[in-house]
Chains A and B, each alone.
Chain A
Amino acid sequence: MAEETKKSIDPATIQMLEKAARDGCRVVFDRAESTKACPIGAEGNCCSICAMGPCRVPVPKGREETPEQKKNRTGVCGATAETIAARNFARKIAAGAAAHGDHGRKVTDMFIAAAKGEAPGYEIKDEQKLLQLALELGVTIGDRSNNEIALDVGEILRAEFGKQEGELLMLKRAPLKRQELWRKLGIAPRGIDREIVETMHRTHMGVDQDYQDLLHIGSRCALADGWGGSMIATELQDVMFGTPTPTHSQINLGVMDKDAVNVIIHGHEPALAEMLAVVSQDPEMIEYAKSKGASGINLAGMCCTANEVLMRHGLPIAGNFLQQELAIVTGALEAMIVDVQCIMQGIVDVAQCYHTKIITTDARAKIQGATHIEFIEHDAIESAKSILRAAIDNFPNRSGEVLIPDVKADLIAGFSHETINYLLGGMYRASYRPLNDNIINGRIRGVAGVVGCNNARTTHDDAHLTMVKELIKNDVLVIQTGCSAMALAKAGLMVPEAAALYAGPGLAEVCETVGIPPVLHLGACIDNSRILMAATAMVKEGGLGDDISDLPAAGAAPEWMSEKAITIGQYFVASGVFTVFGVNFPTTGSKEVSDFLFKDMEDMYGGKWAFEPDPLEAARLMIEHIDKKRKALGIDKARERVLYDMAMRRELE
């Protein structure tokens, strides 16, 4: 038990780790113990981009390096430690941007197919969001049908991926000053794919070998994700499946039902999950489940696919990234249906200890040993049904101990930036003014975006919870996405009642007045673009400066793991946000590169990186930054309120 508590703070996770140990089943936490992280790679000091290497150029431990030694610490080709670290970093950005971009492209293709009537089951659910896009893309609205408008919107946005010149259309959403800065610095992205390709080219052997330049083009590539691929994915998903609005649901492994056919949908894209949510309610499918001896069908989500269907359907979440194998360990999971991203290959091995069927559904993400049933969007309903039938057919194969932890928590999700605007002002006076006013008057100290993954190298969920509790205790409103949001929801901080328990007096007062939790769930990791939009709305509302970098705001990913997290971090920084990462940082092997990211970038972008593995200390850094911005805005001190009489007014003139 003591060992397990070092691995996670979540009681459901600890219970399942104990069961896995009893069942002789090896999970990610065990693999993290037996597979030590490579210390050279972790610091970004290993170059494997050509066959003369891999070359390792670690900083000598325990002694000062002479200038001569440093000069000789290069790869075979002569690449310095700085070039190697910057190249590795830029490649991570490109990989993350590619993942989000390909997600966005697939959504766009499906959106166009739906508009053409070629994807039965999918339709335009949110006309207002469609009109919103039409307005900004210059698509004629008039009396045209939604599908006609959608076709034009889809074609324009699909062209953004392959665009070769000019700049991404959605950059125009950013504050004017920020747009100007990007143009001045030459980092306004031209096209989504172009920036990814160019980053891969420049980081090839023997191309760009100036670390500052590499990090600069990494920013352009990251912006092509945040204000490009990710933003397009979020917007078109909203049009097709609905813009999230506040929704009540439950989270943690306790949402599984021992009597029902348990199905978990895991990954990142909502297309299949949306359809499974529909067909799992189909009386024919429920009857089929009953014919196999189950009480019904219990569909739950895992990882970011879960966030997508949670926000739009209130579908419960079984857990975050590090719990994917543990859902199988319950012995009650008939099928884990996966799409793309963050799916550990280890689930196949774990499934072999139990009866769970791992079903891959996307042509881009197959796993050896899993069952592949491809999801066909053009025949979505039948396709989803055949996948669900395979899960139901597995119910009679349950054997061994079934143990579902009696642990779950309530949460309210669905705080899109549009919903925050509505909640703060209502239908006829929707506005970010109340938020800005409460930041100016000091009830709210600032805003923090805490996002990102879980990482088996650090105690599961602990850093997320510790950091966020510290922030809200200090009156910082926290907005969240991804697995980080799930960690806080599991701990009960995503209900309005949490404000009175955990938030500082000012933040609690505002939360109570508006009726919101102190920690707001904004969606999946692709939805970090919603955070950019919320920040932009705050700027445009006025009173907090002219750019995102003026806001008393900060970002963090305390348990980051994936390359996508680095991309997100870089587009936050290049958008003007101070961003702190925990666990480890992939450039610490090069002082120059780290200094450039942690110091010099602030002079260029107004935002910069920081690395701090201690979540409390990281929260303090964020609060310090927020206070610095408050001071710069002149709102760091309460001002005496003076009621002017006429004589005093005359004196003013």
Chain B
Amino acid sequence: MDYVIEEKPAPGRDKVEVLGATFEPGKPEGAERGRWRQKMASREEKLRYLENGERYWYGKDWFGSEKRKTPA
């Protein structure tokens, strides 16, 4: 994803740089509505998602309820 940096006024300061919207504009239509996996474009992004989103199997430092257990 290409991150957009926006400038916003901040109290006591002139302007600050903040991360802009990370969602896509508009609403998906038709078959596009369910296609969430296709949003990940690069291999790095896909691997990052696996490590975080699918951490139950691919996370390196988080193992849910089995974290405390001695591996079988």
Residues in chain A within 8 A of chain B (CB atoms): 126-128, 131-132, 135-136, 141, 173, 175-177, 179-180, 183, 242-243, 245-248, 314, 412, 414, 418-419, 421-422, 425, 427-428, 430-432, 536-537, 539-546
Asked if A540 contacts B31 (CB within 8 A), the reply is no
> What are 17 A-to-B residue pairs whose CB atoms are below 8 Å?
A131-B43, A132-B54, A175-B66, A176-B66, A242-B37, A245-B35, A246-B33, A418-B37, A427-B39, A430-B53, A536-B56, A539-B64, A539-B65, A539-B66, A540-B63, A545-B65, A546-B69
Q: From B4-12, B13-21, B44-52, give the one contacting chain A.
A: B44-52
* A541 interface neighbour in B33, B46, B65, B71, Cβ under 8 Å: B65
Complex contact A132–B65 (CB within 8 A): no
A546: contacting residue among B36, B43, B53, B66, CB under 8 A:
B66
CB-contact partner of B71 in A176, A248, A536, A542, under 8 A: A176
- A-B CB proximity, top 8 nearest: A246-B34, A430-B53, A542-B65, A180-B72, A540-B64, A540-B56, A128-B46, A176-B72
Residues from chain B with Cβ under 8 Å of A248 in the complex:
31, 33-34
A537 to B58, CA, bound (A): 12
* Distance, CA A414 to CA B35, complexed state (A): 10
Q: How far is the CA of A497 from the CA of B59 in the complex (A)?
A: 35
Q: Is the CB of A419 within 8 A of B36?
A: yes
A223 smallest CB distance to B (angstroms): 15
**By the criterion CB–CB under 8 Å, are B56 and A131 in contact?**
no
Taking A128-B40, A243-B37, A245-B35 as contacts, is the C-beta distance between A427 and B50 under 8 angstroms? no
Taking CB atoms, residues of chain A closer than 8 Å to B37 are 126, 128, 242-243, 245, 418, 422
CB closest chain-B residue, reference A128: B46
The answer for the CA separation of A412 and B71 in the assembled complex, in Å, is: 39
Chain B residues packing against A (C-beta within 8 Å): 31, 33-37, 39-40, 43, 46-47, 49-50, 52-54, 56-58, 63-66, 69, 71-72
Identify the closest chain A residue to B58 (Cβ): A135
Report whether B66 and A127 are in contact in the complex, using a CB–CB cutoff of 8 Å.
Answer: no
Tell me the smallest distance from the CB of A543 to a CB of chain B, in Å: 7
A592–B62 Cα distance when bound, in Å, is 45
A179, B65: Cβ atoms closer than 8 Å: no
| A314: chain B residues within 8 A (beta carbon) | 31
A247:B39 contact, CB within 8 angstroms? no
- When distances are taken between beta carbons in the complex, the residues of chain B under 8 Å from A135 are 47, 50, 58
Shortest Cβ gap from A527 to chain B (Å): 16
Do residues A141 and B52 form an inter-chain contact, with CB atoms below 8 A?
no
Q: Which of A173, A243, A545 contacts B57 (CB 8 A)?
A: A173
Determine the distance from Cα of A541 to Cα of B59 in the docked complex, in whole angstroms. Answer: 12
CB distance from A608 to the nearest CB of B (A): 23
Contacts of B35 in A (CB 8 A): 245
Asked if B31 contacts A422 (CB within 8 A), the reply is: no
Shortest Cβ distance from residue B23 to the other chain A in the assembled complex, whole angstroms: 10
Give CA–CA (A428, B56) in the complex, Å.
15
The residue of chain B having its C-beta at the shortest distance from the C-beta of A418 within the complex is B54
Query: Do B34 and A245 have beta carbons less than 8 Å apart?
Result: yes
In the bound complex, residues from chain A placing their C-beta under 8 Å from that of B33 are: 246, 248
Provide the bound-state CA to CA distance between A135 and B47, in Å.
9
Tell me if A179 and B72 are in contact (CB < 8 A).
Answer: yes
Chain B's nearest CB lies how many Å from the CB of A331? 32
| Contact assessment for A421 and B34 in the assembled complex, using a CB-CB cutoff below 8 Å | no
Other-chain contact of A131, B50, B66, B71, B72 (Cβ < 8 Å)? B50
Query: Within 8 Å CB of B72, what residues of A?
Result: 176-177, 179-180, 183
How far in angstroms is the closest Cβ of chain B from A327?
A: 25
Contact status B34-A540, CB under 8 Å: no
Q: Using Cβ atoms and an 8 Å threshold, which residues of chain B touch A131?
A: 43, 46-47, 50
Assembly CA distance A575 to B17 (angstroms): 52
- For A128, the chain B residues whose CB sits under 8 A away are 37, 40, 46, 49-50
CB atoms of B34 and A141 under 8 A apart: no
Contact B49 A247 (CB under 8 A): no
- Contact residues in B for A177 (Cβ distance below 8 Å): 69, 72
Chain B, residue nearest A542 (CB): B65
Residues of B within 8 A of A431 (CB): 53
A430 CA to B55 CA, complexed, in Å: 9
For B36, list chain A residues within 8 Å (CB).
Answer: 245, 419, 422, 427
Q: How far is the CA of A568 from the CA of B58 in the complex (A)?
A: 27
One of A132, A414, A418, A536 near B34 (C-beta < 8 A): A414
For residue A543, which residue of chain B has the nearest CB?
A: B65
Nearest-CB residue, chain A, relative to B67:
A542
Tell me the bound Cα distance from A248 to B31 in angstroms: 8
8 Å CB contact of A247 from B31, B50, B54: B31
| Contact present for B57 and A421 (CB under 8 Å) | no
CB distance from A289 to the nearest CB of B (A): 23
Q: Would B57 and A136 count as touching, CB distance under 8 A?
A: yes
Q: Which residues of A contact B64 (CB under 8 A)?
A: 539-542
Chain B residues in 8 Å Cβ range of A430: 49, 52-54
A425 to B57, CA, bound (A): 17
Cβ of A258 to closest chain B Cβ, rounded Å: 26
B1 and chain A: residue at smallest CB distance: A427
User: Which chain B residues lie closer than 8 Å to A246 at the CB level?
Assistant: 33-34
Nearest residue, chain B, Cβ from A238: B37
Closest chain A CB from B29 CB (angstroms): 11
Set of chain A residues within 8 Å of B47, measured between Cβ atoms: 131, 135, 141
CB-defined contacts of A247 to chain B, threshold 8 Å: 31, 34
Q: How far is the CA of A131 from the CA of B54 in the complex (A)?
A: 12
Q: Which residues of B contact A418 (CB under 8 A)?
A: 37, 54
- Which residues of chain B are near A544, meaning CB under 8 Å? 65
Interface centre among B36, B37, B39, B47 (most CB of A within 10 A): B37
Q: In whole angstroms, how far apart are the Cα atoms of A180 and B40 in the complex?
A: 36
Complex alpha-carbon distance, A242 and B37, angstroms: 9
Q: Which of A128, A247, A414, A419 has the most CB of B within 10 A?
A: A128
Write the nearest CB–CB distance from B38 to chain A, whole angstroms. 8
CA distance A533 to B6 in the complex (A): 41
Assembly CA distance A321 to B17 (angstroms): 60
Report yes or no: B49 in contact with A541, Cβ–Cβ below 8 A. Answer: no
Q: Closest approach, in angstroms, between the C-beta of B27 and any C-beta of chain A?
A: 13
Q: B49: which A residues are within 8 A, CB to CB?
A: 128, 427, 430
A127 in contact with B56 given A132-B50, A176-B71, A419-B36 (CB within 8 Å) = no
CB distance from B37 to the nearest CB of A (A): 6
- Docked CA distance A530–B53 (Å): 16
